[in-house]
Amino acid sequence: MLKTETPAQDHVLLDQYPTAELVNVLVDDQMNAVDAVRAAAPRIAAAVAAALPRVQAGGRLIYVGAGTSGRLGVLDSVELYPTFSWPHGRAVALLAGGTDAMFVAVEGAEDDLVQGADDLRAVNVMSGDVVLLVAASGATPYVLGALRAARAVGALTIGFANNVDAPVANEADIGVTLDTGTEVISGSTRLKAGTSQKIALNTFSTALMVRLNKVYGNLMVDLKATNAKLVLRAIRLTAFATGVDEAAARAVLEQCDFHVKTAIVALSKQTGVEQARALLEAADGNVRQALAD
């Protein structure tokens, strides 16, 4: 029996716990998710290093999963655009059962090996792409089908699993094992197994974006100001990075479509936005290098 499916022995009377104790047990068990990701950190770092040259050359991130794992992949993919201006077309998420499965479980979809391969080929997977395959069991047929199709074209495959010696991790170019063990509620991998996947995917994609010059210091300087909250964030980040007041920051941001990087360089170098853009382009989007030039 998979460890993630094995009934936990330390909470066999869970249904009789007082509510306060029940909540504490559920919260405390989540800490094991953090420990599992920390143990896998070297593998995540290796995945970032391997993915970097492919995405620098124009490759896409393609997430593949079923159920909770698939939904977490969708979540990570859609957040890259507003956070880092990562193009929608370069963050693709495949979920067993299709878009409807984001909201309603599609029975049997995860068991279809052929469909996983077909769905991946349908998005024209290429050798320059990075395919992230997520499965708590590590043996989900839909995910394995996609993995094998990705490897057939030479794409970089990164497999995330919550069981040791799982096929998804073993067959991928880089396997990341998140050994979260048994769940408080037996087999419910939406608990700490899912939490570990969220942390691991978040860590991978964020580290990758940092390496792609989407961050200056620890400031989110390549965001898309798509709503009022993000417009205010852009203004505050620009003011903080340059030392100007928010009115001055807004004035320059309005000239460059609220692109924080451009505004920071223009204000810091006391130049126009076109010159700031040119400096950033010459520095491959690296704000620190553009300021030094």
Are 72 and 65 spatial neighbours (Cβ–Cβ below 8 Å)?
yes
Distance, in Å, from the CA atom of 175 to the CA atom of 162, rounded to the nearest integer, reads: 11
Is 110 labeled as catalytic in the residue annotation?
yes
- Domain locations along the chain: 3-211, 215-292
Catalytic residue, candidates 5, 79, 171, 246: 79
Distance, in Å, from the CA atom of 191 to the CA atom of 196, rounded to the nearest integer, reads: 9
The CATH architecture assigned to 215-292 reads Orthogonal Bundle (1.10)
Distance, in Å, from the CA atom of 136 to the CA atom of 179, rounded to the nearest integer, reads: 10
Catalytic residue, candidates 110, 171, 183, 274: 110
Residue 1 has a pLDDT of 80
Pull the structure tokens for residue 188.
Answer: 């419910």
Q: Amino acid identity of 133?
A: L
When pLDDT is cut at 50, 70 and 90, the band that residue 292 belongs to is very high
Q: Amino acid identity of 53?
A: P
Residue 273 has a pLDDT of 97
Q: Amino acid identity of 174?
A: I
Residues 218-267 pLDDT 10s: 999 999 999 999 999 999 999 999 999 999 999 999 999 999 999 999 99
Distance, in Å, from the CA atom of 7 to the CA atom of 63, rounded to the nearest integer, reads: 30
The 10 Å Cβ neighbour count of residue 241 is 22
The 10 Å Cβ neighbour count of residue 190 is 17
CA atoms within 13 A on the CB side of 151: 17
Residues 127-168 pLDDT 10s: 999 999 999 999 999 999 999 999 999 999 999 999 999 999
Residues 155-213 pLDDT 10s: 999 999 999 999 999 999 999 999 999 999 999 999 999 999 999 999 999 999 999 99
Is 5 labeled as catalytic in the residue annotation?
no
Residues 35-65 pLDDT 10s: 999 999 999 999 999 999 999 999 999 999 9
β-partners of residue 220 are 215
Residue 128 has a pLDDT of 98
CATH code given to domain 3-211: 3.40.50.10490
When pLDDT is cut at 50, 70 and 90, the band that residue 106 belongs to is confident
Look at the block and give the residue holding tokens 């391997």. Answer: 50
Residue 60 has a pLDDT of 98
Are 157 and 46 spatial neighbours (Cβ–Cβ below 8 Å)?
no
